[in-house]
Each structure stands twice: as C-alpha cells, then as structure tokens.
Structure 1
Amino acid sequence: MLSERGIGQVSGEVFFSSTLGSILGSLLSGFVLIPYVGISMSMYAMGVLVVLVGVAGRYNKTSFKRLDILFYLVVIGALSIPLLDVKESEVLAGGGKVLFSKDGLYEKVMVVDTVLSGQPARLLRQDRSFSSGIQLPTGDLLFPYTLYYKLYNFFHDPATLTHALVLGAGTGTVAKEINKEYRGIVVDVVDIEPILFNLAHEYFMVPEVDSIREYVADGRQFLRINEQQYELIFGDMYSSLYSLPFQVMTKEYCELLYSRLTDGGVYVGNYISSLDTLPPSLLGSIVATFSEVFDSVYIFAMESPELSGPQNIVLVATKGTKVPKLTKTALANTNDRTIRSFLKYFVELEDIFPTLSQYDVFTDDLAPVEFHSMELLRKATL
C-alpha cells in the first residue's frame, strides 16, 4: 500500500496534470486548433488521440492480444476517415453547391451557389444564417436592405460624401458598391472575422483597391480608437435573432456612432426584429435607445409594414437638426427611382410608437437584449 505521503504525492500530480491539461487545452483550442485546423478535424484528431492513449494504457507483453490490436486499428481507421482532405462538393438541402466551407475564428463560414426566385445567386452563410450575397453573374447586390446606403443621396448632395464606414464586412459588396457609386471617396470596412475579407475578393468580386481599407477589429473597439469622422456609416452586424451582440445596441454605442459622424451625418443599420409594439419590444427598445442620442430616427420594414413577425428592419438615424426630414411625401417626390422604391417599406414611427417612454433604453449597465429577442420569438410562435 501507498503511504500517506505517497497518496498525497500521487493526488497532487493528478490534479496538477489535469489543471495543466485544461489550461493548455483551452489555449490551444482558442488560438491554434479552431482557427488553423477547424472544429471537425480537431474533434476527430482528439478522438484518435484518446484511443491511442487507451491502447498505451492496456499494452503489456503478456496480456495484449491480437484481437485487441485489430479492434483498435478498426476504431482508429473509422475515426481517421473524416481527416482525409477531400474537396467539398456538398449540396445543401433544397439545392445549393458549397464552394467554400471552413471554421472561422468565431463561426463556421460557407460560400454557396444556389438559385433564388429563378435567379442564380452566391450566398455567404455564417453559422446557420445566410447573411448576404450577390446576383450571378453580374455581382449586383442581392438583398434589398443593402441598397439603403443610397438614402445618403436623399439627405445630401452625393458629392459631399468623402468618407464612409461599413461595420460588418459580410461579402464586402456594400463597401464595393459605395466605392463604385461615390467616386474618389475612402471606404473603411471593419469585421471581427478575418476570413471574410479573403472570401470577398475570391468569391464576391470585391476588388483590392486602395480606396477600400479593411480592418480586422471589433466594431465598437474600432469606433473608440479611430478618430476619423464619416458622412455615412452602414452597420450590418446582426446575422440572426439568436446572436444579437448587445454591446452594439446600447446608448453608449450610439454615442460612439454619433461622435464619429460629421454634422449632418447619416447612419444606416440593418436589424432583425418585428413591428410588435407590446412591451417588451425589441424594436421599441432599439428605437428608444437611438432616439436618446440621434436627432432623427426612421425605420423601414424590409418584407412589409403589415407583417407582425420577425423581419429585417432598416434603421436610419441622422445627426444634426438641419438635415431634411424623411417622410412619405418626401420619398414619393424624390427624383431618385431607387430611393422612391423604398416608400412602400417606410414605417411612420408615430403610428406604431406614439410614445417611447414605455420601452427599455439599452445601456452598457443594463441591456436585456436576449430577453427581448426571446420574447419576440415566443410571440411569433403563438
């Protein structure tokens, strides 16, 4: 039998080994395996390693049998099949050929060719949601909300736009279109997922030009440390109702946005919510939060102002009191055909939110975004 000292020593070594393994496992997973190897391959490799450790534990010259060897070889072989580097030709349910699939730093990223409404399209999928895409073979913008940067032309002469910021790169096509439409400007693009920039150039026809500057960074952190002011900021950092980053929905974040806009500056943001007005209302809180900071706030319902369920909502906020007001009459009378087409999606805030005081204002200290989004989903299933 082990002495008390021997038992203590063995116990200490076991605890030390397990603690060291946990620390190394966490660091290697976050900084090496997931970004450079991928989740699936890492899991299978760990499975093979566990089997090998089991084999080593059973091995001795007297008791290790040929049947044991055969069994472990079969198990290792089965686990090793997914490790083979096979080119993906995966087809999604309902059609769609996968051109690219890889675990990014924060999410699984896929590029898929498919057909939408009879039109060939290429989509970017981040985890379970299709976030953006282009029409094929033209490369034109696919989703209607991505065109709403054009509202800058309603508020100002297009020639006044010199610097634009896109928060959330996606396919990179919004930055590409802004850069193409407003000649001679600089467009800064920020995203926390590094892999998206390479995909934008390789699959989504985004040119590598000096006038489009790419930054791998957290959007809020970028706003905090970057002192450049912009006439236009386009925000698209919300891929689904299940992953709403609260830190870019608070009053303090709105104040950062406001400080980085020039006088008369325009913010255009894509959100996922509903027009439900019964508190707690996610959209009501978003509008209330922006209204605490910005001088004017407007919304567009991307499917229909009559739809009560979840849909894309474009929120437009302006800085300054001298900016023209966005109304149904003004939209109907504009000379820009594209902007005029936005009229049928325009929602008068006074009609659905006669008072905003009943809705929570999100702050860094208290932002129950998940609660509001779950309430939205619960109401949608009733």
Structure 2
Amino acid sequence: MPGGAYRHNMKEARPIGPRRRPHVRRYARPHPRKPMLRRLVPIYFELAKARLSALVVATAAVSYVVAAGDGPLALAGLFWTAVGTALATGGANALNQWIEVERDRRMQRTRERPLPTRRIGSRHALLFGAGAAVAGPVLLALFVNALSALLALFAALLYVLVYTPLKARTPFCTLVGAVCGALPPLIGWAGATGRITAGGLVLFALLFAWQIPHFLALAWLYREDYARGGFRMLPAIDPNGRVTFHMVMLYTLALLPTALAASLVGAAGPVYAAGSLLLGLGLLFLGAQLYVQRNNAAAKRLFLASVVYLPLLLGLLALDRGPAGRLSRPAEARDAAPERGLPARPELPAGDASVSPISS
C-alpha cells in the first residue's frame, strides 16, 4: 500500500510502526532560578549556625551593657561589638563544618548541612568561613578596641584549631569548647571598658558552667549519632552515664553561686539575684531528675530548660545591672566616652608602652 501500511478503525487511521514526531522548533526557556545572593544567604546562615551564633552574640551584647553600668551606653560601640562577635563566631562555625564534612555525612543530625549535601562547594565554604573569622576581629580592632579584637581572634582560633580536632580524640574537648563559648562575654566587657575586671570574669565563669549541662544533655540524646560520626563525646564513651550525669550535677550546682556572684561584684542588683536563684534551682531540679532517671526524656527536659534559662538570665542581668562596669573605668575614659560614642581607653604613661590593657 503506497505511503505505508495502515491499521484502520472507526475513528482514525494510524501508521503501523514507529511514529515520527513532527519537527517543532522550540525555544529554550530560561530556568527560573533564585538570584545568587538569595540562594547563598540561607546557606551562609547554616554554615554560621545562625541561631547558635545569635545566642553567643546576645551574651557579648548583654555583657557590654552590664559593663557600661549606670553610665551612658555607647550604641555605636555596642553595634560594632555585636557585629564583630557575630562574624568571628559564624566564621569559626563555618570552618568547623568545613573540617568535619566527612564526619557530618555519617551523622543523621548533621548530614543535611550545606557541605555534606554539596549545596555549596568546599572552597567557597572555606573562603566564607576564613573571611568572616578574620573580618570580625578586624572590625573590633578598628571600631571598638584592640583587647576585644584579640579575644575574638583567640576564641575563633581556639574553636577551630584546638576544639575541633579534639572532638575526635578525647571527651575533654567539651571543656575546651566551653571556654570558647564563654569568651564572648569577655569580648563584650572588654569592648565597653577596654579591660577585663571581676564582672567580666564572673560572666565568663557563668557561661562556662552553663555550657556543660547544656551540651552533655544534648550529647546524651545523640550519643549513638556522635559515635557514628567518630566523635569521642563523653556520653558516646560512657554508655551507662555514670560520669556524664555526675558532671551534669556538678555544673548545675556550680551555676547557683556563679550566677549570684554577678551581684556580689556589683554587676547586677537584687532582682537579678533573686531571679538567678529561682532559675538555678529549677535547672538543678531537672539535673537531679536526669541523674536519677538516666533516660532520654529527662535529658531532653534538661536541655530545653537550659535553652530557656540563659536568655531569661541575660534579660534579668540587662534589666537589673549594677554600677560595676561604670566604676571599673578610669575617670578620663568615662568622661571621654560620651563625646566619641565609644568607650575611650586610658592613656599609657609616657615611656611605658608595655603596660597591659588587662587590669587586675
């Protein structure tokens, strides 16, 4: 049959065999994609662990406010202290993820992060992390003071070069990590006063003590995941929890006098003292529950309570701050600070350039 064989039915006649599609000229439509910056910003936030970094920045900002005491608050100094701390913290977190990418792929909790899922390239993440970690101390040095910049740089280096490799080697890494997390209050205090005094050291000790039960409760919940990733966190190598829960009790107990010490050194008032006592007793009760029950439900309650405890305590500290920071600054620095909008540093004696900015 000319033109090829056809199969007939009542509706149509179709050729038998493969059909050729008619040639249709198609014009490629551009694939709808988000602008580059809009796609990268959420990834940068994940690399920087934005929620965790926000809490860290809050501790530095509250410390700055408390250090100002009852004197005028230099808003420009507070702003640059917060920005510098945020960049240094976010950069250190990004570098931590860049180093641990292979371990993160093995953990259920972390395998959806940007690097394990390849939503961002390794070199790109490295440049972002290093750039932020350097930019933070530089901004602090330019707009706040050298001491706050040195503390921020030290915190970032300690987190990346010491804490990160220790996580795969020893459970004592938690103590090193707690030092890293306790340094931001010192950054804020130094930013406001140009020196480290008793009030700043008390806030450092408070953040250090808080982090131990906070992290150990979380690590107990994810102990199998940490073991899968090759991290030697204490709960991962302490299956019955004997040492873990003793540490939780020890540091929740230590929080009570440490938090009250802020009032004793003049950094806070009586309202803060009463509130810190109530909050500390509540956290101690939940720590004791975990010590007795030793199960995931108790660990989760303690972890969530620790997340609530710190913002409430910081709020009380900011609202009921004492005169400690104001009294810790020399008279000429207090007089000059309102004129510049930043806390001024005292002049060094002539011919004595070796005087340390850290006072006793």
TM-score by length of 1: 0.30
Indicate the structure whose relative CO is greater, using CA pairs within 8 Å and at least 6 residues apart. 2
Q: Choose 1 or 2 for highest CA Rg.
A: 2
More strand by share: 1
TM-score by length of 2: 0.31
